[in-house]
Amino acid sequence: MHFLKNMEKIIIKNLGLISYKKAYKIQNDIFEEAILKKLKGENIEGSILFCEHPHVYTIGKSGNRNNFLITEDRLKQLNAEFFPVDRGGDITYHGPGQIVMYPIIDLENYHLGVKDYIYLLEYLIIDILKDYGIKGEISAGNIGVWLETETIRERKICSIGVKVSRNITMHGIALNVNTDLSYFDSINPCGFTEKSVTSIRKELSADINMNELKEKIQKELLIRLNQLK
């Protein structure tokens, strides 16, 4: 649990390796409770959940099922699951070696609109990547963090998908760190057919300390939220 000056309480929960279904229930329960409190005029505690998921493919409410390229039998062979979810964006993959962060916060407390919130998440990761000597970028018209945009080598390193109701957020980011990228071969990631995906490990040819990186992301997000109060 963390407290910042001039800011409501922010509760940090590290859920470890947890199924997507269980993590979704945890964050949805917090999300719904926050909405109820807001409707009653009560103070809302912000929450930030960190976790990794076993192999799972998720698709947003406006996603195209044709971007899921494998059969149910192949899904079982990969020891993976498939879930439709209530976020924006198309299909993506979550798995071990990927840092997933789910902030559940009231954007009104930080004077943020939805687009500005997405920019905050994108630039958070871009700045974190600088610590590893990686130049992250925003790709015009595409949400997330990319490398070498507007080139034939353009590739995605971090996915972002959010849901916002009454200015309260749900879902968040998935940063490929030590991720097994072969699982992306079973989908058109985020609906793209001509762009690839990458990870910090692939870019640096070295395993990354996940806990250290998670701490960096957590600390930097809290600092940026505090600055917006």
Whether 158 is catalytic is no
As a three-state string, the secondary structure of 7-70 is CCCEEEEEEEECCHHHHHHHHHHHHHHHHHHHHCCCCCCEEEEEEECCCEEEECCCCCHHHECC
Backbone angles phi, psi at 96, to 5 degrees: -55, 145
Phi, psi of 118 (to 5 degrees): -65, -40
Cβ–Cβ < 8 Å for 95, 121: no
Catalytic residue among 100, 190, 213, 225: 190
CA contacts within 13 A on the Cβ side of 63: 27
Name the residue with tokens 């793209």: 192
Active site residues: 190
